[in-house]
Structure 1
Amino acid sequence: MKMTVSTAAQEWYQTNLDLKSGDGIHFYGKVYGKTNVHEGFSIAFRPEKPQKPFYEVQYQEISYFFDDIDEWFFTGYDLEIDYDAKHDSPSYTFVAEA
């Protein structure tokens, strides 16, 4: 399981959430909606500094992470986060782990 965040998506988060060095984005599964691999659940995020993340990746001193309570949502997949210019928002694609 790994998470990648494109440069364009990083810029979107930093600009729209006014992120500074040491800040973080906490990803988690929420009821309702869907992803390309989850029916009835979608991905959500909130700005939050990591405390004890289960998984974390850093770009430009910003942490992108999820906690152990949401491990079920990410297990078996890599998460690719990109920027969708048409909707001016991040896009999320789960890819089965190789």
Structure 2
Amino acid sequence: MKIVVTEAAASWFKNDFSIDENEKVKFYARIYGSSPVQENFALGFDKESDPNNEAVRTEVNGVTFYIEDEDVWFFDGHDLHVDYDKDEDELTFDYKK
């Protein structure tokens, strides 16, 4: 599995989520909500300082994005693609096999 974050999405994290270079964003499974890959679970993200057990990571524009071992099950073998929709002014998440 891999994480793909576009430069537009990385810019959103820097500008709207106040992430600085050399900081990290953790993607994780949240109870409640919905997603195309898991019923009753949604994707969450948060600013984190250090991963506990990093399973997957990517870096875009100096920001590290990662998923820990304990949350890999959520993606059910899919890659996570994160982009920014300028018209809607929001992030988009796509799950691709």
| Length-normalised TM-score, structure 2 | 0.88
Q: Tell me if the contact between 2:37 and 2:76 (Cα under 8 Å) persists in the aligned partners.
A: no
What do you get for the CA RMSD once the two structures are aligned?
A: 1.4
Distance 1:60 1:40 in 2: 33
Which residue of structure 1 lines up, in the alignment, with residue 59 of structure 2?
Answer: 58
Distance 2:74 2:36 in 1: 12
Unpaired segments ≥5 residues, structure 1: none
> Which sits farther off after the overlay, 49-58 or 73-82?
49-58
The residue matched to 1:34 in structure 2 has which SS? coil
Matched, 1:74 2:75: yes
Distance 1:29 1:59 in 2: 22
Q: Tell me if the contact between 1:37 and 1:94 (Cα under 8 Å) persists in the aligned partners.
A: yes
Q: Tell me if the contact between 1:50 and 1:63 (Cα under 8 Å) persists in the aligned partners.
A: no
Unpaired segments ≥5 residues, structure 2: none
| Length-normalised TM-score, structure 1 | 0.88
Q: Tell me if the contact between 2:37 and 2:74 (Cα under 8 Å) persists in the aligned partners.
A: no
Residues 11-50 of structure 1: CA distance to partner in whole angstroms, max 9, x if unpaired?
1111012221210110001111111222111100001123
> Which sits farther off after the overlay, 4-13 or 50-59?
50-59
Write out aligned runs for 1:6-21 (5 A).
6-21=6-21
Moved over 3 A (4+): none
Q: Tell me if the contact between 1:22 and 1:49 (Cα under 8 Å) persists in the aligned partners.
A: no
Q: Tell me if the contact between 2:28 and 2:67 (Cα under 8 Å) persists in the aligned partners.
A: yes
Which residue of structure 2 lines up, in the alignment, with residue 41 of structure 1?
Answer: 41
Q: Tell me if the contact between 1:34 and 1:42 (Cα under 8 Å) persists in the aligned partners.
A: yes
Q: May I ask how many residue pairs the two structures share in their alignment?
A: 96
